Amino acid sequence: MNVACHPDSPWTRVDWRALERLRSKFLDETAGASDYWTQMSDLESYDLSFGQRIAWKWNRVLDDLSVLGWRPPEADVLDWGCGSGIAGRVFLDRYPLAENSALWCFDRSDLAAQFARRRAAGRFPGIQIREGVPASTPFTLLLSHVLTECDAAEMEPLLSLARRAEAVVCVEPGTYGASRRLIHFREALAAGFRIVAPCSHRGACPMLQEVNAPHWCHHFAWPPPEAFTDSNWARFAKFMGIDLRSLPVSFLVMDRRPDSRRLPGMTRLIGKARIYKPHALILGCEAEGLIEPRVSKRRHPEFFKKLRKEDAPPWVRWTHEGGDVTDIQAPPQDS
Ligand SMILES: C[S@@+](CC[C@H](N)C(=O)[O-])C[C@H]1O[C@@H](n2cnc3c(N)ncnc32)[C@H](O)[C@@H]1O
């Protein structure tokens, strides 16, 4: 593909063939089988494109956490399966490293770990950055778009590692398969952690009930305006066959500390509403299980409008009777 762009733009260096190769591995789910980073330019191209989309998802998740008033522990940060290291950088942008703490970059690919370390050093001059996994220091574990690449044998050591973490923040694609993996990850770790988000309760995940088998826990991130105004993004979308407007994400945040903030009595909205003329149906996760009540356009015009515009808050406090929402309270504000 002929990609014409400003000579100073990093997009001029994008290796489109490498992106195409990566994309087909991600799509046919063979990415876990073997290391696919062949040279630094693979990582550079990924970081600018797929990696940026992942950054948008992280920003959405971190916004959600700020509504909850959550902050990470003052500890090292380990970006496991770091790839180009985008997750670690977005996380540190939002939550600068505590004094005497380090960022750890780990990947099965040494090339990736090196790339992630260098990029982080450029972004945050002077911070401590290490390649590998901390042996004994407390750490926050970041997992980003990696669970789907781990088979059962790789999940066991990863679970052991997660059990050593102070907090775990995991951001995965919002697909059925990725969400289901994340739910099993949650269930395997739930005993040792407080679930911070996205769950509205600490019980078993209701998605696992047979009746809820068609559902998956996913949310939507919002791409920034440049995704629609920058011609490089338009080319990327066309070349990769990706709809940039749709950015589904599944995530999980767990913390060992007893004071993790939560929103008691709140319902977590899942996915997109189904919009009909007189009402909308939206899936909500509550301590009692999943519910998909009707939101009447006449009774709740503002909330209906938000659902239609895909602009509803992630949490609501509502009451419902006989399958109809009877009252909706204002969502919490950023704290
Ligand atoms: C899709 S990329 C995601 C990279 C990065 N976390 C992000 O969000 O952009 C998955 C990364 O996980 C790494 N990976 C896959 N299986 C791994 C394993 N068993 N141990 C360590 N890293 C692994 C791959 O090398 C790759 O860098």
Tens-place pLDDT, residues 300-333:
999 999 999 998 888 899 999 999 999 998 655 5
> Strand (E) positions, 17-85?
76-80
CB of residue 173 inside a 6 A radius of ligand 1:
no
% of the chain with per-residue pLDDT over 90: 79
149 lines ligand 1 (CB under 6 A): yes
- pTM for this predicted structure: 0.94
The answer, yes or no, to whether any atom of ligand 1 lies below 6 A from the CB of 109, is yes
For residue 103, the CA-to-ligand 1 centroid distance in Å is 16
Q: How many residues does the chain have?
A: 335
Our answer on whether the CB atom of 223 is closer than 6 Å to any ligand 1 atom is no
Residue 52 has pLDDT above 80, yes or no: yes
CATH fold for domain 10-255 = Rossmann fold (3.40.50)
285 within 8 A of 267, measured Cβ to Cβ: yes
List pLDDT tens digits, range 75-118: 999 999 999 999 999 999 999 999 999 999 999 999 999 999 99
Q: Give residue for tokens 């522990």.
A: 73
How remote is the CA of residue 148 from the centroid of ligand 1, in Å?
9
Number of Cβ atoms within 10 Å of the Cβ of 109 = 19
Q: For residues 210-234, give the mean pLDDT.
A: 93
CB distance 97 to ligand 1 below 6 Å: no
Distance 62 CA to ligand 1 centre (A): 21
Are 93 and 124 contacting, i.e. CB atoms less than 8 angstroms apart? no
Ligand 1 atom 10 nearest Cα: 146
How close is the Cα of 83 to the center of ligand 1, in Å? Answer: 5
For a substitution probing ligand 1, which of 60, 79, 107, 147 has the most ligand atoms within 8 Å of its CB?
A: 107
* Token reading at 66: 């700020």
Q: CA 227: distance to chain centroid?
A: 18
Q: What is the location of CATH 3.40.50.150 in the chain?
A: 10-255
Q: What is the pLDDT of residue 4?
A: 56
- What per-residue confidence (pLDDT) applies to 30? 84
Torsion of CA 117, 123, 126, 130, to 10 degrees: -20
Ligand 1 centroid to residue 238 C-alpha, Å: 25
More confident residue, 6 or 119: 119
Residue 11 contacts by C-beta under 8 Å, 6 or more apart in sequence? 3, 5, 48, 232
Calculate how far, in angstroms, residue 255's C-alpha sits from the geometric centre of ligand 1: 23
